[in-house]
Amino acid sequence: MDAMRNINTKGRIALVTGAGSGIGRAVAKALGDAGWSVVLAGRHPEKLEETARALAGDTLLVRTDVSEPDDVDGLFAAVGERHGRLDLLFNNAGTFGPGGVPLEDLPYSAWRKVVDTNLTGTFLCAQAAFRLMKAQDPQGGRIINNGSVSAHAPRPDSVAYTATKHGMTGLTKSLSLDGRRYRIACGQIDIGNAATDMTERMRRGVPQANGELAVEPVMDVADVATTVLHMAELPLEANVQFATVLATGMPFVGRG
């Protein structure tokens, strides 16, 4: 874990994991533009630097692998040292895992990598956020977990990713319940086909439940960021428990 710093300013403090690209970068930019001080966490410092250059205001860059407990401890120690508090955690870091691999052929190592990153990493960051938000004055804060429409319905050959996103929903509910006593609100955003590098394959065609290959519509990732910003800026007395934001024409609702 390495930390790289810019000049600090007072205000609301947000931490975004997986901030080096895609949804994480878009959300970090939206928060920065809205006046938040943003902590950028991710595995690739050069990608975090690219995100930081797109942000307005104060940033802190911390190289972090969320599946590693020591990295997560170091990340939150850096947040505490720099800012002394945390108002928002956007648990965004995740991986889809190998695509197109039938369940019976999925290596155990691939399963573990997806589970360790998507589910365990989210838990570790939420646990550390609880400790900080519980102890700070004023007490409380908000956690937003990046779920997926896969938290509702799977794609073919996506058992590890789908299992972790269903697990994310249970984690979100538990965090929301356990956080009440500390004024910690927790919600989840389930996203479908935001236009990022991870979903570029949607434009080329992806397998459907009926075995066919089909091109799927995508939406601007900035619309996801706008939704997260709305959730983030609610008073702690209000919470968006679950929000689903998806490309309007994607084959999800109904039978495709």
* Tens-place pLDDT, residues 82-94: 999 999 999 999 9
Q: 39 has which bridge partners?
A: 15, 60
pLDDT of residue 9: 38
**Cα 82 to the center of its chain, rounded Å:** 22
Has residue 88 been placed in a domain?
A: yes
Distance CA 236, CA 248 (A): 30
CATH of the domain at 150: 3.40.50.720
Q: Cα separation of 256 and 250, whole Å?
A: 8
Please calculate the CA angle 64-60-7 and round it to the nearest 5 degrees.
160
Range of the domain at 187: 3-246
**DSSP category for residue 154:** P
Round the average pLDDT of the chain to a whole number and report it. 93
The 3-state DSSP class for residue 214 equals strand
Let me know if residue 153 belongs to a domain: yes
SS3 letters across 20-77: CCHHHHHHHHHHHHCCCEEEEEECCHHHHHHHHHCCCCCEEEEECCCCCHHHHHHHHH
Encode pLDDT of 174-199 as tens digits: 999 999 999 999 999 999 999 887 77
**Residue 161 annotated in active site:** yes
Element (H, E) at 89: strand 88-91
Q: Give the number of residues written for the chain.
A: 256
Q: Based on the structure, what is the number of domains in the chain?
A: 1
Q: How many Cβ atoms are within 10 Å of 137's Cβ, its own excluded?
A: 7
Domain assignment present for 113: yes
Per DSSP, the three-state class of 168 is helix
**Is the residue at 14 inside a domain?**
yes
For 247, half-sphere exposure in the C-beta direction (CA atoms, 13 angstrom radius) is 19
Cα–Cα distance, 49 to 27 (Å, whole number): 15
In the predicted model, is pLDDT for residue 7 greater than 70?
no
Q: Residue 54 falls within a domain, yes or no?
A: yes
Place 253 in a pLDDT band, splitting at 50, 70 and 90: confident
Residue 163, phi then psi, degrees to nearest 5: -60, -40
* Average pLDDT rounded to a whole number, residues 94-117: 94
Let me know if residue 252 belongs to a domain.
no
- What pLDDT score does 3 carry? 46
Q: What is the pTM of this model?
A: 0.93
Out of 36, 76, 90, 161, the active site residue is 161
81-85, 157-161, 213-217: least confident range: 213-217
Count CB neighbours of 15 within 10 A.
33
Residue 254 lies inside a defined structural domain of this protein: no
Domain assignment present for 255: no
